[in-house]
Structure 1
Amino acid sequence: MDSGGGTIQTRATRKRRKMQRVTMMDVAKLAQVSPSTVSLYLRKPDAVSPAAGQDIARAIDTLGYVPNLVAGGLAAASSRVVSIIVPSIRNAFFAETVSTLQSALAAEGLQVLLGHSEYGEGQEEALVRTALSWAPAAVVLTGLNHSPETRKLLKASRVPVVEMWEIGGEPIDMAVGFSHPQVGASAAGHLLSKGRRNLVFLGARMDEDRRAAQRASGFAEAGKGGGAPICEIINHPGAATVEAGALLLNRALQQAPDLDGIACSNDLIALGVLFECQRRGIAIPERVALIGFGDLDFSTSCVPSLTTIRPSGDLIGKEVARLILARIQEPHAEDARRVIDTSHVLIERRST
Structure 2
Amino acid sequence: MTVFRATKSATLHDVAREAGVSLITASRALSNPAVVSEGTIAKVHEAVQRTGYIPNLLAGSLKSKRSLMVACLVPAISVAQFLPTVQSLTSSLDAAGYQLILGQTGYDHAREEALINTMISRRPDGIVVTGLVHSTASREQLRNAGIPVVEMWDLSDRPVDMLVGFSHIKVGSAIAGYFLSKGWQRIGIATGDDHRGALRREGLLATLGRDVPTAVVPAPSSMELGRRALTELLRQDPTLQAVYCSSDQLAQGVLAEAQARGLRVPGQLVVCGFGDADFAAHMQPSLTTVQVDGAVIGSTAARLIVDRCRGVAIAQPIVDVGFRIVERESTSQS
Give the TM-score, by structure 1 length.
0.75
Amino acid corresponding to residue 259 of structure 2 in structure 1: Q
Q: Does 1:213 align with 2:198?
A: yes
CA distance, structure 1, for counterparts of residue 203 and residue 164 of structure 2: 20
Secondary structure, in 3 states, of the residue corresponding to 1:262? Answer: strand
Amino acid at match of 2:268: R
Deviation at 1:169, TM superposition (A): 4.1
1:74 and 2:49 aligned: no
Q: Secondary structure at the match of 1:290?
A: strand
Q: Secondary structure at the match of 1:297?
A: coil
Q: What is aligned with 2:16?
A: none
Give 1:129 deviation, angstroms. Answer: 1.4
Asked if the contact 2:76/2:220 (under 8 Å) is kept, the reply is: no
Contact 1:311 1:344 in 2 (8 A): yes
TM-aligned CA deviation for residue 79 of structure 1: 2.7
Alignment partner of 2:290 out of 289, 296, 309: 309
Structure 1 counterpart of 2:191, which letter? G
**2:175 is equivalent to residue 187 of structure 1:** yes
The letter for the 2-side match of 1:313 is: G
Letter in 2 for 1:194: K
Report deviation, 1:237.
3.3
Question: Distance in 2 between the 1:329 and 1:237 partners?
Answer: 41
User: Which of 248, 254, 263 does residue 267 from structure 1 map onto?
Assistant: 248
- What are the superposed Cα offsets for residues 148-203 of structure 1, whole Å, 9 maximum, x if unpaired? 22111101101110000000341000000000011111111111111100111101
Find the aligned partners of 2:315 and 2:231 in 1 and give their Cα distance: 49
**Residue 303 (structure 2) aligned to one of 297, 314, 322:** 322
Matches within 5 A, 1:9-88: 73-75=60-62, 76=64, 78-88=66-76
Aligned twin of 2:107: 119
Contact 1:81 1:138 in 2 (8 A): yes
> What amino acid sits opposite 2:195 in the alignment?
R
- Paired residues of 1:138 and 1:160 also in contact (CA < 8 A): yes
Contact preservation (8 Å) 2:69, 2:98: yes
The C-alpha deviation readout for 1:111-137, integer Å capped at 9, x for no partner, is 111111101111111111111112111
Secondary structure (helix, strand or coil) at the match of 1:181 reads helix
Percent identity for Structure 1 against Structure 2: 39
Q: 1:297, CA displacement in angstroms?
A: 1.5
The worse-fitting range, judged by mean Cα deviation, of 337-346 and 143-152 is 143-152
- The reply to whether residue 337 of structure 1 matches residue 316 of structure 2 is yes
Q: Tell me how far apart the structure 2 counterparts of residues 313 and 87 of structure 1 sit (CA, whole Å).
A: 15
User: SS of the counterpart of 1:351?
Assistant: helix
The one-letter amino acid paired with 1:339 is I
Letter in 2 for 1:221: A
The alignment's TM-score, normalised by the length of structure 2, stands at 0.79
The answer for the alignment partner of 2:14 in structure 1 is: none
Q: For the Cα contact (< 8 Å) 1:185–1:222, is it kept in 2?
A: yes
* 1:108 aligns with one of 80, 91, 96: 96
**Distance in 1 between the 2:115 and 2:87 partners?**
20
Shift of 1:145: 3.6
Q: Is the 8 A contact 2:61 2:67 kept in 1?
A: no
Paired residues for 1:200-239 under 5 Å:
200-204=188-192, 206=193, 209-224=194-209, 231-237=212-218, 239=220
Change (3 A) 1:157 1:77: closer
Structure 1 residue 239: deviation in Å? Answer: 3.7
Contact 1:197 1:230 in 2 (8 A): no
Tell me the amino acid that sits aligned with residue 343 of structure 1: G
Go from structure 1 to structure 2 and tell me whether the alpha carbon gap of 1:254 and 1:239 turns closer, same or farther (over 3 Å shift): same
Q: Whole-Å Cα distance in 1 between the matches of residues 213 and 156 of structure 2?
A: 24
Tell me the CA shift for residue 72 of structure 1: 5.4
**Offset at 1:221?**
1.4
1:225-281 deviations in whole A, cap 9, x for unaligned?
xxxx76232212364110111111111011112210110000011011111111111
Aligned to 1:99: 87
Q: Which letter does structure 1 place at the counterpart of 2:270?
A: A
Cα distance in 2, alignment partners of residues 151 and 341 from structure 1: 21
Look up the match of 1:297.
Answer: 278
Preserved CA contact (<8 Å) 1:199 1:223: no
The offset of 1:78, in angstroms, is: 4.4
Equivalence for 1:6 = none
Report how many aligned residue pairs link the two structures: 274
Give the secondary structure class of the aligned counterpart of 1:231: coil
Contact (CA 8 Å) 1:212, 1:265: kept in 2 or not? yes
1:161-200 equivalent positions in 2, closer than 5 A:
161-200=149-188
